Amino acid sequence: MPPPIPPDPTLLAGGCSGPASLRPLLDTVLTALADGAAERCGPLPAGGPDAPEARFGGTILPAQGTGAHEALGALVHALARGAADPADPHCVAHLHCPPLAVAAAADLAASALNPSLDSWDQAPAASALEAQVTAELAALVHPSGPAPDALVTTGGTESNLLGVLLARERHSARLRVVCGANAHHSTARATWLLGLHPPVNVPTPHGVLDPALVRAAVEGLPPGAHALVVATAGTTDSGAIDPLPALADLVAEQRRHRPTSLHVDAAYGGPLLLSPRHRTLLAGVERAETVTLDLHKLGWQPIAAGLLTVPDRTALIPLAHRADYLNADDDTEAGLPDLLGRSLRTTRRADVLKIAVTLRALGRAGLAALLDDVLAAARRLARLVADEPRLTLHAEPAISTVLFRPAGADDARVAAIRRQLLDDGATVLGRAWALDGAGHRRLWLKATLLNPRVLESDLTALLKLVLERAEAPLPVPASGSAPQPAVRRAALRSTPSLLSPSLPDQRKPSDDRP
């Protein structure tokens, strides 16, 4: 006879007894997170995708369960040990932020209570909270809008999809999207998904849209076509902000000739509206029909925390949708709120809770201080790069992205250095193409600073790691002496799977950190 399943794993998270059931399990999670982080001892596991820290073995679905504590301990520990942790000051590749503890703690309540925002009778208070948060955040973007409102999304990609979808519904399938080469890839993917023509791409050699080129692109559309101009406030590659006032003027002017709308993807830059010092960078955003925000970037939220704002909630009417079991006419008439038109999803997690808790805990002043700290850190990093003759700075950061490259390295070498740093487990940098001072398109290393707790010493150490790699010969796989990561990786390949919690730690802190 197999041993009986321990009773623990079937306890529920909700109800009056849920918190007591959760408490010992959360202890296990916190211990596993701490142990995993200590063993990783860096921004990500060394050894690349083949390293045991980055893999799982054995079945995930055994015939008999292992119990709640064993499963939580083993898998959370493995996940933490094999994470790319954005809370590490050297994990700066992407718009991938370190979440605030207060936001992550709030997120637990959303998981435990499990409200679903597709009908009032699954989320009475959660839906009221969402209505309030979305109205307040939308008013920040569109302060003079008649009835600002916002939808909560899974991120910038869904927000951009909704922006293009709402434009399609306003303008019909005659819609043509005009965007820059600097626009997020989700804009083109949205047109594909929605069955529209691919976007007209305006070149952005200098990283931002040139209004004259946008005008030419709109004027060059076929007769009868309607236009949606998509601008970006904080590009993924460099954090650049398109000239929003000039683009809003241009859209207003083009409306005399053809129906034309403006969508601004402010997934990255949007939160700057909370900073009295930096909010002028976003001037003009309030004139857009739709705006993408994303608080899991410069808002320190766990994923997902996207928003799409509109100046007037009537703009959302095209999403209205009816399903008798969720919003029957007679129920709506009797006063039950109709939530189904507030998303393309049906079942929908209360991602709004962590946002609300964070806004209330920090207030405008607290959020502005974090934003200002992050932007100041990016300026410090740019200064350190500019002062280092072995490195080339692309430009002063527009928000908090710093592009730089080892002087004299060609593009393939820059890409290889980035991969080698990942393999070392030493630093997680991104990459971006941009013109150099001589007008040549080059590949750059990208540091996207989002961590408000980064220190000047972290920035100095990061550049030191890059310089060491840039000046060292790249290791040759399957040859060389012991300390080379590629060799260590091969040696570790034969270790038992991560799912054996007794696996001894193969790495020492001194292996990878200067």
Task: Kindly identify the residues of this chain, within the stretch 430-489, that bind a copy of itself according to CB under 8 A.
Answer: 430-433, 446, 451-453
CB nearer to a copy of itself: give 276 or 437.
Answer: 276
Count residues near a copy of itself (CB under 8 A). Answer: 177
CB nearer to a copy of itself: give 296 or 394.
Answer: 296
Q: Is 164 in the site for a copy of itself (CB under 8 A)?
A: no
358 Cβ partners below 8 Å, 6+ apart? Answer: 100, 102, 103, 106, 295, 299, 300, 301, 367
CB of 363 to a copy of itself, least distance (A): 3
With H, G, I as helix, E, B as strand and everything else as coil, classify residue 427.
Answer: coil
The single residue among 412, 438, 478, 482 that binds a copy of itself, judged by CB under 8 A, is 412
CA 496 to each of CA 229, 488, 490, 505, 506: distance values in angstroms, whole numbers, following the listed order = 54, 15, 13, 11, 11
22-81: contacts with a copy of itself (CB under 8 A): 22-23, 25-26, 28-34, 37-38, 44-45, 48-51, 53-56, 59-68, 70-72, 74-76, 78-81
Q: Where are the beta strands (DSSP E) in 233-339?
A: 260-265, 290-294, 306-310
* Tokens at 362, concatenated: 């920090």
Q: Is 415 in the site for a copy of itself (CB under 8 A)?
A: yes
**Could you tell me which stretch among 149-157, 252-260, 383-391, 501-509 binds a copy of itself (CB under 8 A)?**
149-157
The single residue among 90, 103, 229, 459 that binds a copy of itself, judged by CB under 8 A, is 103
- B/e letters for 74-87, b = 16+ CB within 10 Å, e = fewer, are bbbbbebbbbbbbe
Q: Rounding to the nearest 10 degrees, give the CA dihedral for residues 343, 345, 346, 349.
A: -90
Residues 160/190, Cβ–Cβ less than 8 Å? yes
Q: How many CB atoms lie within 10 A of CB 491?
A: 12
CB nearer to a copy of itself: give 157 or 232.
Answer: 157
Q: Is 424 in the site for a copy of itself (CB under 8 A)?
A: no
367-396: contacts with a copy of itself (CB under 8 A): 369-370
Residue 178 CA to residue 450 CA, distance in Å, equals: 30
**How many CA atoms, within 13 angstroms, populate the side-chain half-sphere of residue 511?**
22
Q: How many CB atoms lie within 10 A of CB 125?
A: 11
Q: Is 110 in the site for a copy of itself (CB under 8 A)?
A: yes
227-266: contacts with a copy of itself (CB under 8 A): 236-237
196-225: contacts with a copy of itself (CB under 8 A): 196
The single residue among 358, 392, 400, 484 that binds a copy of itself, judged by CB under 8 A, is 358
Q: Is 281 in the site for a copy of itself (CB under 8 A)?
A: no
**Could you tell me which stretch among 122-130, 207-215, 255-263, 386-394 binds a copy of itself (CB under 8 A)?**
122-130
Q: Is 357 in the site for a copy of itself (CB under 8 A)?
A: yes
312-341: contacts with a copy of itself (CB under 8 A): 321-326, 328, 330-331, 334-337
Continuous segment of H or E residues that includes residue 31: helix 18-40
Residue 470 CA to residue 474 CA, distance in Å, equals: 9
Q: Is 106 in the site for a copy of itself (CB under 8 A)?
A: yes
Q: What is the CA radius of gyration of the chain?
A: 25
CB of 37 to a copy of itself, least distance (A): 5
CB of 438 to a copy of itself, least distance (A): 21
The single residue among 170, 174, 189, 278 that binds a copy of itself, judged by CB under 8 A, is 189
Residues 353/134, Cβ–Cβ less than 8 Å? no
CB nearer to a copy of itself: give 22 or 233.
Answer: 22
Q: Omega of the bond prior to 304 within 30 degrees of 0, cis?
A: yes
CB of 394 to a copy of itself, least distance (A): 15
77-96: contacts with a copy of itself (CB under 8 A): 78-88, 93-96
**Could you tell me which stretch among 136-144, 248-256, 384-392, 462-470 binds a copy of itself (CB under 8 A)?**
136-144
Q: Which amino acid is at 508?
A: K
Q: Where are the beta strands (DSSP E) in 217-289?
A: 226-232, 260-265
